[in-house]
Structure 1
Amino acid sequence: MAKKTHITKLSLGGLKGIYILAGLLGFLGAIIALPIFFVHSLGSVFISMGGVVFSFIGLIILLICLNDERKANRKRDKR
């Protein structure tokens, strides 16, 4: 039983790292796409929208992971 929980914690940590990277990349993409947005209107709209969407998804998933960790810590403290 203890080994299973350890594996899930590791995979959650790995996923969190991937989502943080995705969020940062999306945020950077949005920042890079903003100057281009003023030069080319149509092509960069999709790029900037993609960047914004990725950053929001990354932030939401990061918040969910942090919330789950807090709940797990509370349960451990109560025991």
Structure 2
Amino acid sequence: MFSRSSLAASAVVGGILVFTGMQTVNALWIIPEAREEGRKLEREERDSATNKAIGELRDEADRARFNRRLCIERGRLYVNATGLCVE
């Protein structure tokens, strides 16, 4: 029926299609999700370190100053009366 060369050519074309499909899946779904997961883990580590540093400050006034600066750096509004950071 089919010659060996046509079977070999079909196998090569099929391999190229599978390879292209897998690269597309990686580029569109797997890699972006992995990057976002990495960013999320990095943010969690940074927030943990920040909270630890806040806990090690000497007094409440130092903590309030630090929290205020952190709030402003993140583009939020610090309410002095309550000591809360709001969006």
Larger helix percent: 1
State the TM-score, normalizing by the size of structure 2: 0.44
Larger radius of gyration: 2
State the TM-score, normalizing by the size of structure 1: 0.47
Larger strand percent: 2
The higher-RCO structure (CA 8 Å, 6+ apart) is 1
